[in-house]
């Protein structure tokens, strides 16, 4: 297998029999390397307060129509304890990029969750200093999730006022240096994206050797500057799945979630199809229902009125309908560097 841009481009243009082969190869590689288990990770969107103004994002600082919220530590703990009772093994704590929340406060939340539950903790709160990542790791953080969004530096810099792709990639290097299990990824079809960019996004994931890679279609949010900019592949949404399948072939040992945005574009089946085309992780929403509508990164986000139990049971139904078992245990990275670290501990 050649891991080149040219080959990625060729695969991304598969049609007919070649496309069927691409999907079936991605599913085979997923089964061989990651097994049939589907790991469940529960996401808690604990605050929609954000200091950034990413041009695509519904919770950007300038969107005055968003009712801002931040869950209290008690509310976060309540969600974490309920997750443990429901047999979750990972909590993903996600929020906007809130400069006001002190590193210590997040550190304290991580410590409390680690003390009161056996959950693995993933944090996803944007660009931070290396010292902060290191401090959170010492508090018990297991993993960090930070998408690079696009490998096209000019496009990245245009979409992220006050932030450059170089800075984002430095954060990812820092996490790698600290031996924190690192997840990253990108949006598929940002306005201005070319197929070459999509191929480069996949290659960049391989270069960084991420432990987890989350990708999903860009969906225009009407209250953002990109509200009238259609997805670059709006006339060819099959490309969303092609991207996922090629991503799996180029990153055989990464955890790859079937992200919610797939369901927003293909209601009721997007995530199920993603699980059949390379994905091995499902992330039901565990944010309390009263906050769901206020964390709308894009319109049509599914499950906004489902409580955490409903989100979990519909995930289980989908996974079982594919004849796949639920993963047991934390589902940590299977990459060699982490296996070696765990055996040292």
Interface positions with ligand SAM (CB under 6 A): 56-57, 59, 94, 96-97, 124-126, 146-147, 149, 187, 216, 218-219, 221, 261, 297-298
Q: Which is nearer to ligand SAM, 38 or 226 (CB)?
A: 226
Q: How many whole angstroms separate alpha carbon 285 and alpha carbon 91?
A: 10
Nearer to ligand SAM, 29 or 46 (CB): 46
- Residue 318: CB minimum distance to ligand SAM, A: 21
Nearer to ligand SAM, 56 or 156 (CB): 56
Q: How far is the CB of 295 from ligand SAM (least distance, A)?
A: 8
> Least distance from C-beta 31 to ligand SAM, angstroms?
27
Nearer of residues 22 and 163 to ligand SAM, judged by Cβ: 163
Select from 299, 250, 293, 219 the least CA-distant residue to 67: 293
CB of 271 to ligand SAM, least distance (A): 14
Closest approach of ligand SAM to the CB of residue 10, in Å: 26
Residue 97 Cβ, how far from ligand SAM at the closest point, in Å? 5
> CA-CA distance, 213 to 122, in Å (whole number)?
13
C-alpha distance from residue 55 to each of 49, 197, 267 (Å): 16, 18, 25
CA distance 297 to 203: 26
Q: CB count, 10 Å around CB of 135?
A: 17
CA neighbor of 158 nearest in space, from 182, 126, 193, 118:
193
CA-nearest of 205, 198, 207 to 241 is 198
User: Is the Cβ of residue 29 or residue 121 nearer to ligand SAM in the bound state?
Assistant: 121
CB 204 within 8 Å of CB 160 = no
Between the alpha carbon of residue 134 and those of residues 143, 144, 176, 255, the distances in Å are 11, 11, 11, 23
Q: Which is nearer to ligand SAM, 45 or 107 (CB)?
A: 45
Instruction: Report the residue number, 149 or 174, with the smaller CB distance to ligand SAM.
Output: 149
Residues 6+ apart with CB under 8 A from 135: 103, 107
Residue 221 CB, shortest distance to ligand SAM, in Å, is 5
- Provide the strand spans (E) within 234-309: 257-258, 281-282
């Amino acid at each position: 297998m050649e891991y080149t841009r040219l080959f990625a481009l060729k695969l991304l243009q598969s049609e007919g029999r070649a496309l069927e082969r691409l999907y079936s190869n991605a599913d085979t590689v997923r089964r061989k390397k990651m097994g049939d288990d589907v790991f469940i990770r529960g996401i808690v969107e604990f605050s929609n307060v954000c200091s950034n103004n990413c041009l695509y994002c519904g919770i950007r600082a300038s969107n005055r129509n968003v009712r801002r919220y931040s869950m209290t530590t008690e509310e976060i703990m309540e969600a974490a304890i309920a997750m443990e009772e429901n047999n979750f093994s990972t909590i993903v704590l996600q929020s906007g990029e809130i400069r006001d929340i002190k590193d210590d406060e997040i550190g304290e939340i991580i410590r409390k969750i680690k003390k009161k539950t056996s959950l693995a903790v993933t944090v996803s709160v944007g660009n931070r200093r290396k010292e902060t990542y290191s401090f959170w790791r010492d508090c018990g953080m297991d993993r960090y999730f930070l998408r690079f969004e696009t490998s096209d530096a000019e496009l990245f810099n245009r979409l992220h006022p006050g932030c450059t792709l170089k800075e984002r990639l430095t954060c990812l290097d820092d996490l790698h240096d600290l031996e924190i299990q690192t997840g990253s990824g990108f949006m598929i079809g940002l306005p201005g994206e070319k197929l070459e960019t999509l191929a480069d996004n996949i290659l960049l994931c391989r270069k960084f050797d991420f432990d987890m890679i989350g990708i999903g279609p860009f969906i225009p949010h009407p209250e953002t500057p990109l509200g009238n900019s259609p997805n670059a592949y709006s006339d060819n949404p099959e490309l969303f799945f092609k991207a996922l399948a090629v991503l799996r072939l180029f990153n055989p040992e990464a955890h790859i979630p079937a992200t919610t945005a797939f369901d927003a574009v293909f209601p009721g089946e997007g995530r199920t199809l993603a699980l059949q085309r390379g994905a091995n992780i499902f992330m039901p929403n565990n944010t309390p229902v009263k906050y769901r509508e206020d964390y709308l990164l894009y319109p049509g986000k599914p499950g906004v009125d489902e409580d955490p139990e409903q989100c979990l049971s519909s995930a289980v139904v989908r996974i079982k309908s594919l004849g796949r078992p639920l993963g047991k245990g934390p589902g940590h990275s299977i990459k060699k560097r982490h296996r070696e670290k765990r055996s040292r501990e």
